Amino acid sequence: MSARPHIFDLDPQSLRVLVAQWGWPAFRADQVLDWVYRHAVADPAAMTNLSARDRAVLAEHVDFLAGETVADLTGSDGTRKLLLRWNQPSAASRSDTPVSLPLASGVPVDTSAQETECVMIPADERRTACISSQVGCPVGCTFCASGLGGLDGNLAAGRIVEQVWRLNRDLHAIGERISNVVFMGMGEPLANYAAVMRAVRTLMAPWGLHIGARRITISTVGLPRAIERLADEDLPVTLAISLHAPNDALRRELIPWAEYTTIADLMDAGRYYFQQTGREVTLEYILLGGVNDHAEHADQLASVAKTLRANVNLIRYNEVAGLPYARPGDAAVRRFQEVLRQRGVNAHIRASRGRDIAAACGQLRHEHRAARAV
């Protein structure tokens, strides 16, 4: 098992301490990070302003890419999805401790040979990275592929950052870059709180990927205490609450973790988030055909949304083989949106992207696992 630090777990200060042990001047650390983040280079041999000896030392003592690509798919709409396998835990990931939340304590961290997904979504001038924070998911939403195998572990901060870096590397080659990041991939970000916060600060840092906080979205199924903690971080990221039902009874049928809280508690936490950050909250709502997409559901959702400064993102369900849910028709989605708008709620229908490359969260991993099991 490697005990070498992962480059994406290191900030300038910690890397300066490390290179000092090798007798290097402190500015060498800044040169290395400049290669990694400004030039999208993760191969010490290509860092040409370091001597050949220094490049060899760096390659011997630091891990650069901790994952390997298992699948790399590009959709007809330009959406790109990677399935990554993390073969060995890094030293940083073994010591990372998840925040104490329901079902999160005692979670193993980064066990070997485990896979996560990340996606690059192009839209107009934006290039959005949708990334995972955990291996699998503990929430167990009944309509989602991410949690079908349960939770295998938390991703260390560096492995969260590496997902963005990998998607950014190929964009860099054509003069583009990741402009936005959403924590909407596999896992519940606020159940891996410490690592997610460290990753966000690296993504934002001028020495890192330098992505503004307002271009970063953290999507949570709803952990009120963790939302309040996030509100006090002085990080004006966008908070998205995955609601998916307008009342507690239906929500608990769809989302097992909803047993631990109520929609009223979530709205209280959302109001606190707005008060502390000035940022409107996004309510995410996956429309499941015949389940949560009726007019009365839209009316109930409008009543919920109007209790705080929020907008609603309506998401058409992407079907997952083996799960008993259907994608609603366009007319049903538009009717649902119209009810919300008539009630004065700012509601948008999110464009479906990457449907031809297993776009749903956890779907690609699920399909690969199923294929291997045959």
Residue type (1 letter), 150: G
Q: Which residue has the tokens 């870096």?
A: 165
Which among 262, 280, 258, 283 is positioned nearest to 271, based on CA atoms? Answer: 280
Catalytic residue among 117, 162, 188, 284: 117
CB-CB contact of 184 with 215 (8 Å): no
Please name every residue paired with 282 in a beta bridge, in sequence order, or none if there are none. Answer: 240, 311
Answer yes or no: 117 catalytic. Answer: yes
Q: Is 169 left (phi over 0), alpha (psi -120 to 50) or beta?
A: alpha
Question: Which residue in the list 176, 253, 361, 367 is annotated as catalytic?
Answer: 361
- Annotation says 367 is catalytic: no
Enzyme catalytic residues: 117, 361
